[in-house]
Chain A
Amino acid sequence: MTDRHCKQIFATLSEYLDAQLPEKNCRELELHLKGCRPCIAYLESLRTTVEACRRYKAPRTPALSKQVKAALLAALQRSHRSQ
């Protein structure tokens, strides 16, 4: 993935994955991909990276303390009353 065209394509891969690439650039990219296996492989690996991020979940959330919950509920009640 070193020639000039690959470099241009490389810069647009995320927009392509997100379907945000303008149609003309999209056609150019797809034409390039037909003849460039390294770019296809890189695009797929980037797609897999995005999928891994989507599946990533943070550790389990600890419960709110009773005091914090009570303070929040009281503040919300005040907020409701003032509406």
Chain B
Amino acid sequence: MNSQVEQALANLKSGNPEDVEQALETLQEVVYGFGMKVCGVREDAEDTAQETLIRLARQLKEFPDARALAVWLYKVAKTQCLMSRRKSKFAPAQMLSLDALMPRESGAAVPAVKSWEVTPEEIVLNKELRSKLKDAVLALPKPYRLVLILRDMEQLDTREVAEVMGISEETTKMRLHRARVFLRNALAGYVRRAEMPEVRAHD
């Protein structure tokens, strides 16, 4: 659960003008950030945030807790993003096949395992890697992109992602895995650590 949303809901319900203003800024940051990750276009992210907040202001009393608000926020923001008028240059519609994404020993479209030699603790999002990650996310077909952003960037749990997307948890998990593998393959070669021992494609 997004802890920012939890704090914002408490502030909104307090009625204190300063707290309410703080809550609006927090929620705008959450929705704008989500919009930027999904659409990749500033104007679309701004429209998404504005429209979502206006609807929230009208419906505030309908949210019993932060979880309900977070699911609602992302659901509305997702719909706004899907309706965005400005099409990003990345808008593929194809489905991802796990078989096609799987690394192979030879003749593969996927880079060899040895090109990736850094642990999660060591990863540093420098400018180049950030840019590569952003492009790779935008290159994902939207159904996969949305699931990945909601789960791994916004850090909703599987059930919440399924609710936002209106799909089953099984489909959520399937899409998430394919999206992660797609990203992993796209980032290979950008994440290295020279001193690690080489791991061959298959011993």
Binary contact track A53-83/B, C-beta < 8 Å → 1, others 0? 1111111011010001101110110011011
B199 contacts across to A, CB distance below 8 A? 37-38, 40-41
Are the CB atoms of A14 and B177 closer together than 8 Å?
Answer: yes
Report how far A18 CA is from B158 CA in the complex, Å. Answer: 10
Q: Are A14 and B176 in contact (CB under 8 A)?
A: yes
Within 8 A of A (CB), among B20-36: 20-21, 24-25, 28-29, 32-34, 36
Residue interface mask B149-186, A partner, CB < 8 A = 1: 00011010010000000000000010011001101100
Cβ–Cβ contact A72 & B24, under 8 A? yes
| Contact in complex: A49, B104 (CB < 8 Å) | no
Complex: chain A residue closest to B106, CB-CB: A2
* Inter-subunit contact A52/B123 (CB<8 Å): yes
A15-B177 contact in complex given A38-B201, A47-B120, A50-B152, C-beta closer than 8 Å = yes
Interchain CA distance A79-B25 in the complex, whole Å: 18
- Report yes or no: A62 in contact with B113, Cβ–Cβ below 8 A: no
Choose from A11, A45, A53 the contact partner of B148 (Cβ within 8 Å).
Answer: A53
Q: How many residues from B make CB contacts under 8 Å with A?
A: 64
Give every chain B residue within 8 A of A50 (Cβ-Cβ).
120, 152, 180
In the assembly, what is the distance between CA of A50 and CA of B29, in Å? 22
Which of B55-63, B65-73, B85-93 touches A?
A: B55-63
Distance in angstroms from A16 CB to nearest chain B CB is 10
**Chain A: which residue is nearest B111 at the CB level?**
A45
Q: Which of A13, A38, A76 contacts B57 (CB 8 A)?
A: A76
Q: A45-B116, A48-B123, A54-B155 are in contact. Are A69 and B61 (CB under 8 A)?
A: no
Quick one: which of A7-29 are within 8 Å of B by CB? 7, 10-11, 13-15, 18, 20
Contact for B113 among A13, A41, A57, A59, CB less than 8 A: A41
**Would you call the interface of chain A mostly helix, strand, loop, or mixed?**
helix
CB pair B57 A1 closer than 8 Å: no
Q: How far is the CB of B134 from chain A (nearest CB, A)?
A: 8
The reply to whether the CB of A44 lies closer than 8 angstroms to some CB of chain B is yes
A sample of 6 cross-chain residue pairs with beta-carbon separation below 8 angstroms, ordered by A number, consists of A37-B203, A38-B201, A52-B123, A52-B187, A69-B24, A76-B20
Interface residues of B (CB under 8 A from A): 12, 15, 17, 20-21, 24-25, 28-29, 32-34, 36-37, 42, 45-46, 49-50, 53-54, 57-61, 98, 102-105, 113-114, 116, 118-121, 123, 125, 129-130, 133-134, 148, 152-153, 155, 158, 173, 176-177, 180-181, 183-184, 187-188, 191, 199-203
Chain A interface residues toward B at CB < 8 A: 1-2, 7, 10-11, 13-15, 18, 20, 37-38, 40-42, 44-59, 61-62, 64, 68-69, 71-73, 75-76, 79-80, 82-83
